[in-house]
Amino acid sequence: MSYIVLITGASKGLGYSLTELYLSKGDYVIATYRRNLEHLEKIKDNPNLLLYKMDVADENSVKDAFEFVKSKVSHIDILINNAAVYLEDKTKTIENVDIEKAIQTLNINSIGPLRVLKYFFSLVERGNKKLIINVSSEAGSISNCWRDREYAYCMSKSALNMLSAILQNYSRNKGIKVLAIHPGWMRTDMGGPDADISPEEAAEGIYNLSMKEWDVNDKNIYMDYKGNLMTW
């Protein structure tokens, strides 16, 4: 069975790897990007790919994208909130943290998925798979926090985890499953060249998780890309 999949932040890194993978499986992918196509330029002519420019930090942009997408498809089976930024200077401690960058990080990483869901949730509700994946991070775990800086990024992923938990409570009776997935430390612009895994490996894990049948009543929704449960 093929699915209609929406992926945000699809122009590079994990988002692009997910886009390529779902297309290779025969799915129809709606790929959104903030500024330009970047890697998507290579596959822009794929008939199963629908491209649209959308900035998750801008509500009008998200609303416009929703109006466009709903004119093209009747539903979305899998929605992947992947768009995110890492704007931290790891040398900066609490005394000299950049508040403006912190606000920007929270706006994109936490409120961004909330904006997307505000508009696109109704299309997921009409879908067959009824799955929402929020790309989280181990950085969002409070119980396993080991950092002594990187405030904004960690805060943004913790907030995304709370969004995921609340949304699962709301969505349960609608038959919609929500997952918050840590994709691993990837060799991307964000993760750097020394990271553990490639974005393709992370994408494969997330794809496999997306194909499983999930119990909407199970509150264990925070996990890594291999399906190993993580603590909030």
Is 79 within 8 Å of 62 (Cβ atoms)?
Answer: no
Whole-angstrom CA distances from 153 to 42, 96, 157, 226 are 30, 15, 6, 22
Annotation marks residue 157 as catalytic: yes
Annotation marks residue 136 as catalytic: yes
Beta-sheet strands, E only, within 61-113: 78-81
> How many Cα atoms are found within 13 Å in the side-chain-facing hemisphere of 38?
17
Is 11 within 8 Å of 36 (Cβ atoms)?
Answer: yes
Is 200 within 8 Å of 212 (Cβ atoms)?
Answer: no
Which residue among the candidates 16, 33, 86, 153 is catalytic per the annotation? 153
Give which of 25, 165, 141, 3 is closest to 78, Cα–Cα.
Answer: 3
Which residue among the candidates 3, 86, 130, 157 is catalytic per the annotation? 157
Q: Tokens for 59? A: 């509500």
Which residues are CB-contacts of 173 (< 8 A; sequence separation ≥ 6)? Answer: none
Which residue among the candidates 17, 136, 141, 210 is catalytic per the annotation? 136
Name the residues annotated as catalytic: 136, 153, 157
